Structure 1
Amino acid sequence: MSQPLSGRNILIVEDESLVAMLLETILEDMGCTTVGPASSVEEGLALIENGSALDGALLDVNVAGVKIFPIAEALAARDVPFVFSTGYGEGGLPDEWKGRPTLQKPFSEAAVQDALMTALGMARV
């Protein structure tokens, strides 16, 4: 059975190392190549600006006490789809970002796949 997300390059921005490692494992199990993980907004922006080929991103809303929105803006400007992850769910997002795919922590592998497929405009299998 082929993985629908196989071969996709997915940026991870997450400051909690255990969560970042979990996301890397989940993405690798889905056949994705991980970019990062970046543990700060600055590191995430550097990965985007250095021209990394990105098909999508998983963004922790609060990274080391800094909101992720500069990275969301940079990705949106490049038409790179992304998923927010937060312990507060979509309700914790400012109005301008509501409606974007959002993972509520803690999340499952299936939830990560569904959110990424939604962000990438892919039909569920």
Structure 2
Amino acid sequence: MSLPVEAAEALQIFQNAAGWEQRARLLMQFGDRLPALDDAQKCEANRVHGCESQVWLVGELRDGHWQFKASSDARMIRGLVALLLLRVNGLSAADIKQIDLPDWFNQLGLSRQLSPSRSNGLNAVLQRMNELAR
């Protein structure tokens, strides 16, 4: 499965990063660029359960391709979620089911940033995407 253009660009940026500190800074920048959800979208129905931080997710199907928007109250999680969105936005429901999260974050050089709780949280976000895409 080929990468969406924006995901491929992000991958290039992270692979060119000189070490962990630069990747951490990039992660924050990607999180800061996430379009904000409005207050109405930050409701209980859109909250992803299974995350230690608050994460909200909304999805919309356009011409057979999913577009997700998300937000979090935690800056690091916002960055990780932003990179997950780059990986899944524009995909079909069938393609979303095949996303290998650990592999994606490993390619980005961010696997050491994924503590078990963060990893569980991101899996919960991906699971919620799959539920919405059903």
TM score, norm. by length of structure 1: 0.28
Point out which structure has higher relative CO (alpha carbons under 8 A, 6+ apart).
2
Q: Which has the higher strand share?
A: 1
TM score, norm. by length of structure 2: 0.27
Return the index of the structure with the highest Cα Rg.
2
